[in-house]
Amino acid sequence: MNYEKIFSKVQTTINNYIDNGTVATYIPELGNVDATKFGVFLTTVKGEHVSLENYNEKFSIQSISKVLSLALAYGLEGEKLWKRVGVEPSGTPFNSLFQLENDLGIPRNPLINAGAIVVCDVLISHLNNPKKDFLEFVHRISGNSSITYSERIANSEKLKGFRNNALVNFMKTFENIDNDIDEIMDFYFNLCSIEMTCEELSKTFLFLANKGVCPFSKEKILSKSKCKRINSIMQLCGFYDEAGEFSFRVGLPGKSGVGGGIVAIYPNKYSIAVWSPKLNKRGNSSKGIEFLEHFTTETKASIF
């Protein structure tokens, strides 16, 4: 497949796209970003890569890191993990607290905030130095030891973290939280603050397109079965209440973040990262989804 040619064609198409999205502003650090930024980076499991525009600029990956913490926790905890968090889509967003109440403190999946907080709790129970150990895991799978947290963003998130504080306290009432709440939330807010370029993001997720094996080091990060299951969870739960729409339009497992990043996986083929800060009403990068829809249409290939 000539990805370069397809990128070029989609880039032309997308030039006419009128983006009615808006940049996330709940913390100033996100609101200050240049809304016109746009970058794409694709890496194949064979080592090819293609890029577009601002592919080499750092942005806040935000919720995308929830997949990485899930991968580490699933490897450490195994199938016991699913007693603490489900694998089902979450339905409408405003339901989160309602469903948590209804499901007795078990979040519906590990990619919504409540589920990611439980995953942090699990990691703290396993790791000696959670923040440091997690970063080392990211370095291992990405082959890039420069990736790190943004202390500024983590602190800013913490100051606005009332809803997440509500979630963790609420789950504690159902005894689905083991460790100290402050430690969990510090870890959680740091995870969300990780910054990557499209290139780094694409490479970091490539092991999920490669049966769980890091394509750079050849290290087996996850079993093939666990790798598939994470992809399945991304497919069903990666875009909040727009998971169906993304699957319908793009046809690939993926994950978005409010920083405007999206990463998607074509199993056994490639990992692609897109970045455009303006978000649609459901909190996902509007131009990012538009690009990916045209891209999979042009490649004539989706998993379905």
Token pair, residue 193, equals 């603050």
Cβ closest to a second copy, residue 92 vs residue 125: 92
Report the residue from 58, 172, 216, 299 that binds a second copy according to the rule CB under 8 A.
172
Cβ closest to a second copy, residue 20 vs residue 79: 79
Q: Which residue has the tokens 């809803």?
A: 163
Q: What 3-state class would DSSP assign to 224?
A: helix
192 touches 63 (CB < 8 A): yes
CB-based contacts of 25, cutoff 8 Å, min separation 6: 31
Q: How far is the CB of 241 from a second copy (least distance, A)?
A: 6
Q: Which residue has the tokens 């074509």?
A: 266
Binding of a second copy by 109 (CB under 8 A):
yes
**Which of the stretches 40-48, 53-61, 96-104, 141-149 binds a second copy when contact is defined by CB under 8 A?**
96-104
3 touches 269 (CB < 8 A): no
End-to-end Cα separation, the chain, in angstroms: 18
**Which of the stretches 40-48, 91-99, 149-157, 284-292 binds a second copy when contact is defined by CB under 8 A?**
91-99
Task: State how far the Cα of 19 lies from the Cα of 212, in Å rounded to an integer.
Answer: 35
Token pair, residue 283, equals 């909190």
Binding of a second copy by 18 (CB under 8 A):
no
**Which of the stretches 32-40, 70-78, 212-220, 296-304 binds a second copy when contact is defined by CB under 8 A?**
296-304
Q: How far is the CB of 108 from a second copy (least distance, A)?
A: 8
DSSP secondary structure string for all residues of 188-236: HHHHHT-EE-HHHHHHHTHHHHTTTB-TTT--B-S-HHHHHHHHHHHHH
Binding of a second copy by 35 (CB under 8 A):
no
Give the binding site for a second copy (CB under 8 A).
86-92, 94-95, 97-99, 101-103, 108-109, 162-163, 165-167, 169-170, 172-173, 224-225, 227-229, 231-233, 235-237, 241-245, 247-248, 251, 253, 267, 297, 300, 302-304
